[in-house]
Structure 1
Amino acid sequence: MSGRLPYVKRKFYPHMIFDEAELWTDFINKYPERFDTVDYDFRVGEGVVLAADNDEEFIRMAKMLSQKRIDVIAWNDEQPTIIEVKTRVGLGTLGQLLGYKLLFKREFTIFPDPDLMVVTKLIDPDDTYILLQNRIKIAVLKNA
């Protein structure tokens, strides 16, 4: 399973607010050969489980709205990289990425362990240390 979309800049990235989309475009411009393909707004996890006596469409929508959503899964051949795009990284980013990795591995057992990465404008030394100790790659785009 490689990504459904080519790794090129686009006018719109699902699930990203304007500042994040601008940051991601800057990343693509700076590293145009970094990945082969991508998936955006990638859902993982079961989401909320409602009683079976609810309307089928309501159950489906509740699940979709409550699943975890990965900003980007970038692919090189069969190697996934889970990417969180944030203008400012905080400690919560660690929890997001580790959680996404566990859910992805549970659902997609045929792939190698995903790499983890954050693309950001701003990260403090403590958060840098913590993310690097957890083998999370950090791309800081100062002029983004």
Structure 2
Amino acid sequence: MRWPGPDGFEADDDAARIDVDVVHGFLSTSYWASGVPRDVVARSIAGSLNLGVYDASGALVAFARMVTDQATFAWLADVFVLESHRGHGLGRFVVSTLLDHPELKGVRRILLATADAHELYRSYGFTETEPGRIMSIRRDPAELYTQS
């Protein structure tokens, strides 16, 4: 499915259109996925509902993915806009379009993690989760990525 965006940009949820090299290039230097191997990025895309944002030439310039069962739960992850394309409202475009995706209608819990964009996500209705309810297991990516 495609959505028109600001300034001639377009969003598309076709996973086959995602340029894995662009996504890997960004994520492997991000604070949340530093050093992530390309094959891990490719598998994460294959197992998610993805949204790419493309410029007029068809190049991927922004991305987000939702890890979801498409019924009750979703996790918003790997949201980014390439630095060269910031200032066009593409961060808001990719997030709002993905949150409104038809395959997510009825999902009752959407989570995310962020170190630096709390105000952006609050504008969509996200709140910080109350302590004592949500638990997680955090594994060291350095150890995981070196295992075969």
TM-score (norm 2): 0.36
TM-score (norm 1): 0.36
Quick check: which one's strand share is greater? 1
